[in-house]
Copies of this chain bind each other. A is one copy, B any other.
Amino acid sequence: MPPRISDSTIRRLSHYLRALETMVREGAETVSSEDLAERGGTSAAQVRKDLSHFGSFGKRGLGYQAVELEASLRRILGLDARWRVALVGAGRIGSALFEYPNFQARGYDCVAVLDTDSDKVGRRWGDVIIRSADELEHVVAEEHIDLVILAVPPEAAQDLADRAVAAGARGLMNFASVQLRVPREVPVTDVNLVMELEALSFAITQAGTGA
C-alpha cells in the first residue's frame, strides 16, 4: 500500500504485460528487467522500480518467472475480474470499439449500447440491441455497469457523464474532446484523437526547427 501510484507507472505495467504475453508465447521461462525494458521502451531500473511498488516478484541473480509475473501484472491491473461495460454512442468510434477483438478478450464485456439517434435505437449489434440514451440511468443500474464509454459529441458528454456517475458507474472512458468534471473518486481516462494529432504536428514542427 504505497502512497500513490503514478499514471505513467501503470501505463508501463500495461506495456510489460503485453511484452510478457509475447515472450511467454515465444517460450521464455524467465525474463530479466533488461528484457522487459527493451520491449517496453524504458530502462531496466525503471522496470524494477515500477514492480517494486507492488511487491517482490523476481529472484536476485535470476530474473522473473515469466508466467508468474504475467499473472501478477494481470491481478494488479484488475484484469482478473470481468468488467461490465456500457457503450454510449453507436457511431464510427463506438462501432470500432465494439468490434475491437482485444476488448472482450481482456475482460471487458460490452453488455449495453446506447445512442440518441432514434434510427439506431432498436438495431442489433451482435448480442445487444441498441437502446435509447434516455435509458442510461436505468441501464447502468439494472445491468450493474462498472464502466461507461462515452463515444459521443463533446456537447453531450458532460451530461451523460453526470448521469452515468449518478447511476453508479465506477469509471469512465471519454472520447469527447472536453474535460469532464466528475467526482474525484470516479476515474476518467481520456482518449482524445485531436489532441494526439496536435501533439504530433507540434513535435514534427519542432523536430524541423530544433534539429
Residues of A within 8 A of B (CB): 1, 5, 7, 10-11, 13-15, 17-18, 39-41, 76-79, 81, 83, 92-93, 95-97, 99-100, 102-103, 106-108, 146-147, 170-173, 177-179, 185-187, 189, 191-211
Contact = CB atoms under 8 A, between A and B. Distances in A.
A191 B192 CA distance: 9
Contact of A202 (B78, B170, B192, B193): B78
Contacts of A97: 193
A161 B80 CA distance: 33
B193 A41 contact: no
Nearest to A209: B1
A69 B209 CA distance: 22
Nearest to A169: B204
A147 B64 CA distance: 39
A171 B78 contact: no
B95 A198 contact: no
Contacts of A207: 170-171, 185-187
Contacts of A11: 195, 199
A164 to B, nearest CB: 13
A200 B171 contact: yes
B146 A194 contact: no
A81 B202 CA distance: 11
Given A146-B204, A187-B203, A106 B171 contact: no
Which 7 interchain pairs have the tightest Cβ spacing? A187-B203, A78-B201, A92-B96, A41-B179, A78-B205, A96-B96, A14-B195
